[in-house]
Amino acid sequence: MGINVELQRVQPGTVGVAASGRAWPRPEMREGESFRATLSLDKAWGVLRWLLHAAACPVDPVLGTPLPEAKDEGGTRDEAKDEDDGLDPDLAPPGLLTPEEVARAAAFLAALSFDTLADFTDEDAMDLDDVYPQGLDRAGVEGLRGYYTDLQAFYAAAALAGQAVLRELG
């Protein structure tokens, strides 16, 4: 059983409601947009996150930063570890990227091709870091190309709309 990561584009003013735990905002698309307002990274999130960190992405476009009000409610990062996947969805608080962080992520992702990202693959280092799934070499990472292309389009649309991004684990 693995953990999935779901990203949602939302208006900045709705983030406080999510952080308070009162409600979760609905993802929002703008008229004429062609890319959806939600994105599932399924179980590819761990490898993508590791590769983006290795590529020196200035923000974490996969997990974001824990919501400010949720940081103390969700336990510590160590308590949120799951043996197989790295995070326990019952302990890990939702994540957030502000519109400014979304713009930085979008610019970085737009400038980084999948082939360049995949060149950061280091099977041994990824296995040492318990990246799921384990044992991926450069050829195995090729299967993530579609997820990365979707991640690029998702952040480009969010940045263009001036939106924030919320992350949930499922």
CATH of the domain at 131: 3.40.1760
Domain extent at residue 40: 5-169
Provide the domain count of the chain.
1
Coil, helix or strand for 70?
helix
What's the confidence (pLDDT) of residue 69?
58
Contact 76, 90 (CB under 8 A): no
- The CA distance from 69 to 149, in Å, is 32
| Pair of tokens at residue 44 | 């590819």
Alpha carbons 103 and 117: distance in angstroms, whole number: 19
Q: Are strands 65-66 and 95-97 parallel, antiparallel or unpaired?
A: antiparallel
Q: What share of the chain is helix, strand, coil (3-state, %, to 5)?
A: 40, 15, 45
Local confidence pLDDT in tens for the 170 residues of the chain: 478 899 999 988 887 766 666 666 666 555 655 567 899 999 899 999 999 999 999 999 999 998 765 544 444 333 444 444 455 544 567 899 999 999 999 999 999 999 999 999 999 999 999 998 888 888 889 999 999 999 999 999 999 999 999 998 88
Distance CA 161, CA 127 (A): 37
> What is the predicted pLDDT for the residue at 86?
53
What is the model's pLDDT at position 19? 65
The predicted structure's pLDDT at residue 143? 93
